[in-house]
Amino acid sequence: MIRLSGVTYKYRRGPAALYNFTAEFPPGITVILGPNGSGKTTLLKIIAGILRPQSGVVEIMGKTPEELRGKIAYIPQTGGLYPWMTVRENIALPLKLLRHPNPDEAVKPVAEALGISHILERYPKEISGGEQQKVLIARSLASGAEVWLLDEPLSMIDVDYRREIIQLLRKINKTMVIITHNVQDAVDLGGRIYIVKGPPLQIVTATSPDHYTDAEKLAEMAREAFRR
Amino acid sequence: MRYYVAALAMLLALWQLAAYVINKPYLPPFTEVVLRMATDYQLLTKNLAVTLMRIATAVALALSVGLAAGLAAAWLSEKISANLLRALILLTYPIPHVALLPILLHLFGIEASKIALISLIAFYPIALSVMEWSQRYPRDLAALIYTMGGGRRDVVRYVALPSALPGILTGLKIALNTAYSVSFIAESLALTDGLGALIYDSWHRLDFLQMYAAIFTLGAAGVSTYAAMSLIERKLIKWA
């Protein structure tokens, strides 16, 4: 369970991205659906411990993000892979940081499970956007992270990989917060959906898969929410 | 590669042409210089070995001190020391270091002062590139290191240093190139040995053929070093 209470974050310029923001994200998939620039990425970075809020409390399984370092997988929208490391080194990195005795060996089963064994010795620039996304997921799986934070994981990949990545994410049984601005992605990911607007970020509507049946209905809900 | 060969051929042809047009002893034709190189082969290789040894020692020294100083100035967690070190490097960089040669001579003696001068001049491009480039690392990737459970040292090891490697290698290339130029000044000071000394000595004896043979040898060594560095760069930075 992730809890945010009274969280405020303001960049040096512009309005507050988050102001007195309070929310709870239970185990399983939570999709945050909202327009670009509404403060979704800032929220994710605060939960990941990358940004420190000026006020408010962030609690993940009863701990602060700093206390939970090594147990959080944050997958940014772009550039999450280290260009100077091969795919194998990228996946092994969290294990090395956590002083795993044999990080390179530990990569093998994860790579096999995700079907990326053939690209292990390649550099990120040598693989496709979809493969890069799979490598990021492999890295998070290898790290054994309890909390997954994904920023627009489907935005840069083609249709074939999209289906595969969605299936992968749905199989991972962890607390997962996924942000997207795409209604179809929100529907297909199949978790609870928080429709948000901002800045400052605010949850307009919270819904679950039981309350919608298709993207069209959800899109209508989102449009309605943004009008309010 | 073929463009480099073509450029070299063009340069040598121009030299040959200029030598015939000017027709003075101070600009002999390239073909005569080559013949003299063959005659003086042993003398040239003996002096080349001395010069290369001096350059290698000096640049190795500059690299180890420059790397340590540059990293400390960028990453020392004790901010006052880091800022002081940074100011010290930036403040002493524009000084014309060749002018310090008399002081180095008194401090280190004839032989060691040559290495000290080359090393001092090679130090700055290395220290400055390490200092600047190791701070230009991608901040998002560094933040991910902390999220994945790493610390400051891991950020230096896995993010700052690899992302700075292209810049550091460029600094090293500049340092090596400068070292070749400075070796002439350092070696012509006390005419013991080395290609610099040979160039200076033959110039003063008006033995222009030998002077050109030595200059060409030094130049060829400089170009080969640069080519070798570019090769190492390509091997080390496969990801770029």
Nearest CA to B163 out of B185, B182, B140, B191 is that of B140
Q: How confident is the model at residue A104 (pLDDT cuts 50, 70, 90)?
A: confident
Decide: pTM greater than 0.90.
no
Residue A45, CA atoms < 13 Å, CB-side half-sphere: 20
Query: Phi and psi of B174, rounded to 5°?
Result: -65, -40
pLDDT above 70 (res B45): yes
pLDDT at A214: 65
In whole angstroms, what is the distance from residue B238 CA to residue A189 CA? 37
DSSP bridge pairs for A120: none
Residues in chain B with CB shorter than 8 Å from the CB of A47 are none
What number of C-beta contacts closer than 8 Å exist between A and B? Answer: 58
Residues in chain A with CB shorter than 8 Å from the CB of B138 are 79
pLDDT single digits (tens) B198-221: 999 999 999 999 999 999 999 999
What is the mean predicted confidence (pLDDT) over A125-142? 93
Considering CB atoms only, which of A72, A79, A85 is closest to B147?
Answer: A72
The interaxial angle of helices B41-75 and B101-133, nearest 10 deg, is 50
pLDDT greater at residue A152 or residue A207 = A152
CATH 3.40.50.300 maps onto chain A at: 1-68+148-155+172-228
Closest residue on chain A to B162 (Cα): A84
Q: Residue A55: in which H helix or E strand, if any?
A: strand A55-60
Q: Which residue has the tokens 């009863």?
A: A62
Taking an 8 Å Cβ-Cβ cutoff, which residues of chain A contact chain B?
Answer: 45, 48-50, 69-74, 76, 79-80, 82-85, 93-94, 97-98, 123-125, 143
Q: How confident is the model at residue B187 (pLDDT cuts 50, 70, 90)?
A: very high
- Record: contact A97-B239, CB cut-off 8 A: no
Q: Are A140 and A75 in contact (CB under 8 A)?
A: yes
pLDDT above 80 (res B119): yes
In whole angstroms, what is the distance from residue B216 CA to residue B222 CA? 10
Residues in chain A with CB shorter than 8 Å from the CB of B149 are 69-71, 94, 97-98, 143
pLDDT above 70 (res A156): yes
Mean pLDDT rounded to a whole number for chain B: 93
pLDDT at A155: 85
Q: Are A91 and A138 in contact (CB under 8 A)?
A: yes
pLDDT single digits (tens) A53-102: 999 999 999 999 999 999 999 999 888 999 999 999 999 999 999 998 88
What is the mean predicted confidence (pLDDT) over A35-63? 94
pLDDT greater at residue B78 or residue B126 = B126
Q: Are A93 and A82 in contact (CB under 8 A)?
A: yes
Q: Which residue segments constitute the domains of chain B, with CATH numbers given? A: 29-236 (1.10.3720.10)
Burial of B149 (0-12, 13-18, 19+ CB in 10 A): buried
- Record: contact A79-B141, CB cut-off 8 A: yes
In whole angstroms, what is the distance from residue A52 CA to residue A64 CA? 11
pLDDT above 70 (res A118): yes
Considering CB atoms only, which of A74, A79, A125 is closest to B147?
Answer: A74
Residues in chain A with CB shorter than 8 Å from the CB of B162 are 82, 84-85
Burial of A95 (0-12, 13-18, 19+ CB in 10 A): buried
Distance from CA of A76 to the nearest CA of B (A): 9
* A210: its two tokens: 């039981």
Query: Phi and psi of A56, rounded to 5°?
Result: 105, 175
The architecture that CATH gives domain A1-68+148-155+172-228 is 3-Layer(aba) Sandwich (3.40)
- Record: contact A84-B144, CB cut-off 8 A: no
Residues in chain A with CB shorter than 8 Å from the CB of B142 are none
- Record: contact B140-A76, CB cut-off 8 A: yes
Nearest CA to B132 out of B68, B65, B60, B73 is that of B73
What is the mean predicted confidence (pLDDT) over A205-214? 69
DSSP bridge pairs for A177: A30, A149
In whole angstroms, what is the distance from residue A186 CA to residue A197 CA? 15
- Record: contact A84-B165, CB cut-off 8 A: yes
pLDDT above 80 (res A211): no
- DSSP string over A167-194: HHHHH--SEEEEEES-HHHHHHH-SEEE
Q: What angle do CA B219, B224, B230 make, to 5 degrees?
A: 130
